[in-house]
């Protein structure tokens, strides 16, 4: 991690790792586009997603039912034959 505790890193790909029992994701601050975004990388597969403020706000406003449906691994990620990348 770069910067002081609580500060976002200044360059892309330098960030924090958030991990738990089922996932480990690198989270960093990306300024390479028109506006700042979070760069999320699944450390298991290497898949990367860039998320802007509107996408983050949408996650915050999801109902519990919508959030549970979105997080359900049987909806796609862990199905037989599903690609890891």
Domain count, the chain: 1
Residue 71, in any domain of the structure: yes
Confidence class for position 14, pLDDT limits 50, 70, 90 = low
Residue 85, in any domain of the structure: no
Residue 24, in any domain of the structure: yes
Residue 10, in any domain of the structure: no
Residue 7, in any domain of the structure: no
- Domain containing residue 41: 15-75
Confidence class for position 61, pLDDT limits 50, 70, 90 = very high
The per-residue pLDDT for range 35-49, each reduced to its tens digit, is: 899 999 999 999 999
- H-helix or E-strand containing 67? helix 64-71
Angle at 73 (CA atoms; ends 71, 77), nearest 5 degrees: 115
């Amino acid at each position: 991690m770069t910067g002081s505790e609580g500060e976002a890193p200044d360059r892309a790909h330098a960030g924090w790792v958030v991990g738990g029992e089922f996932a480990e994701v690198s989270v960093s601050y990306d300024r390479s586009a028109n506006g700042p975004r979070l760069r999320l990388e699944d450390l298991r597969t290497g898949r990367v997603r860039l998320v802007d403020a509107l996408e983050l706000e949408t996650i915050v406003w999801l109902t519990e039912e919508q959030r549970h449906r979105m997080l359900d691994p049987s909806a796609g990620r862990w199905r037989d034959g599903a690609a890891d990348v």
